Each structure stands twice: as structure tokens, then as C-alpha cells.
Amino acid sequence: MLNASSRDWSLFPLRAARQAWRGVVDSLLPPQCMLCTATVDEPGRLCPACWPEVGFIAEPCCPTCGTPYAVPVPSGLVCGACLKEPPPFDGARAVFTYAGGGRDLVLRFKRADRTDLAPGLAAMMLTAGAALVRDCDAIVPVPLHRWRLWRRRFNQSALLAQALGRLSGKPVWLDLLERPKPTRSLGRLGRVERRRVLAGAIRIAEAYRDGVAGKRLLLVDDVLTTGATVGACSRVLRRNGAAAVTVLTLARVVRVEQGAI
């Protein structure tokens, strides 16, 4: 417990001012649900009506790729896909499935310029991936090519990584990975084609060449579809000596055959 002598009393006026300002803002513009216009107690929350619309992923799920199982299974059971072709990362988790309310949340954040949702979404990621965040040395966002960044005006993965870093206290290496090679949209491509398109598209920034070895790194992205993008990033980090690479995403695509055993 902190005693009076160990507290930083200089911060008290600043905290009081922030709390007062928050009260004024909330009285004028009450915080709303991230999915609808219902009033909630704090920003970055879902109302009771919208909560069931989001398909949150919980145990049991594959410890390697995070795919949820449709039936109860023994703890630690690896899914068939990971046994057949182990991914280049050590573990992955997502907050919810990319469907229904979860998909709406992602699109609102990513396509509708609702960057104000980042702190609330990152808080969900911290809950879902608590062990991954705890065990990492640094958080690394999946990069965008400069032209796509210019068109979109922000990197959604970087915003999530920054918010997650603020919540967890973990360092965020925003520019560790670069995407010097522009790639076509991966939305309609399969696993093999995605991997071919991404070949050579991601690299380590020169400033970090000697800083990756021995580090446990947490990759952050918005959606995990086939795993090709985070897989390409993981391979680059592994080749440069990373001790472990894990993945935390906001959502993941779950196909019928993936969610059942």
C-alpha cells in the first residue's frame, strides 16, 4: 500500500481536472454504446441489447490458432488444421468472430473512421488476450503500405496496438515492421494465393535489425482471416531471431468446418 510520502501529489490536480472535464463532457454528450445510440455508463462499452449480438470467443478454443471449438474438448487440444500445418506463430487469440455485431464493430472502426472506438476495442483485446499481453516484451502492429495508409489516413492495427500499450504498460514498436511492397486486396483470395502475394512484402525496419533477437513479440491486427498476413509477419520476426511470436486480433473469421471437431 502506498503511504502519503510515496504518492506523487503533483498529479492530483491534473487527475481532478480530468475527472471534472469528463463529468462535463458526459453531462453534455452521454457516452453511447459502440454499436447503437443507447446510453452506457462509460465510453467504449456495449449496451445490454447489443452485447449478445457480438460473438465473443471463449474457451474451449485451439491454443495455437485460437479457433473456437463447437463442443467441449480437453484443455490444450490443438485443432486439426494446426496439426496438419503448424502456423509460424506460437499462439493466437481473437476477441470475437467476424460476423454479426462483431463484424459491424470492425467495419465501424475501420471503414467509418470511428477511431474513437480504439480504446474500448483494445480493452476487450486486453481481456481476451491477457496471457499473451502479460508474456510479451513488446507489442507490434501489422504494417500498411504507405499508399494504403495515405488513402485510409490511419493504420487500424497501429491504433489498436497503441491503445493496448497504454492499457497494459507494454512498449509498442509501431515502426518495427515495414511493408515496402504494395499488394492487392487480399479479401477474396485463398490461403495459398494470399501467401504468394505477401511473399517479400514485409520486412524489419533497419533501425530494429539488432533489436528483435531474443524478444517475445505480440503481433496486433484487426481481423484474422486465413492467417496469411500475420504468418508473413511472424516468419520475418522469426528469421530475425524473435524468441516467440504471438498474435492478438480484434476478430477472426470462423468457418463452419473450423468451429467443429
For the purposes of burial, counting CB atoms within 10 Å of the CB of 102, is it exposed (0-12), middle (13-18) or buried (19 or more)? buried
Residue 2 has pLDDT above 50, yes or no: no
Which of 41-45, 76-80, 252-256 is least confident?
A: 252-256
Looking up cell 454479426 gives 100
Q: How many CB atoms lie within 10 A of CB 226?
A: 16
Which of 135-144, 174-183, 219-228 is least confident?
A: 174-183
Three-state SS at 163: helix
Three-state SS at 71: coil
Which of 9-18, 137-146, 236-245, 249-258 is least confident?
A: 9-18
Three-state SS at 213: coil
Cα separation, 232 vs 196, in Å, equals 10
pTM listed for this prediction: 0.84
Query: pLDDT category, 17, cuts 50, 70, 90?
Result: low
Looking up cell 465473443 gives 56
Give the three cell numbers for residue 217.
513479440
Determine the pLDDT at residue 38. Answer: 95
Determine the pLDDT at residue 5. Answer: 40
DSSP type of residue 89: S
Give the three cell numbers for residue 242.
524473435
- Of 87 and 5, the structure prediction assigns the larger pLDDT to 87
Cα separation, 158 vs 139, in Å, equals 10
Write the pLDDT tens digit of every residue in 129-176: 999 999 999 999 999 877 666 677 789 999 999 999 999 999 999 999
Three-state SS at 239: helix
Tell me phi and psi for residue 31, to 5 degrees.
-60, 140
Residue 121 has pLDDT above 50, yes or no: yes
Cβ 219 vs Cβ 245: under 8 Å: yes
Write the pLDDT tens digit of every residue in 58-117: 989 999 999 999 888 888 899 999 999 999 999 999 999 999 999 999 999 988 889 999
Q: Which amino acid is at 235?
A: R
Residue 15 has pLDDT above 80, yes or no: no
β partners of residue 218: 139, 246
Determine the pLDDT at residue 145. Answer: 75
Mean pLDDT of the chain: 85
Pairing of strands 203-204, 177-178: antiparallel
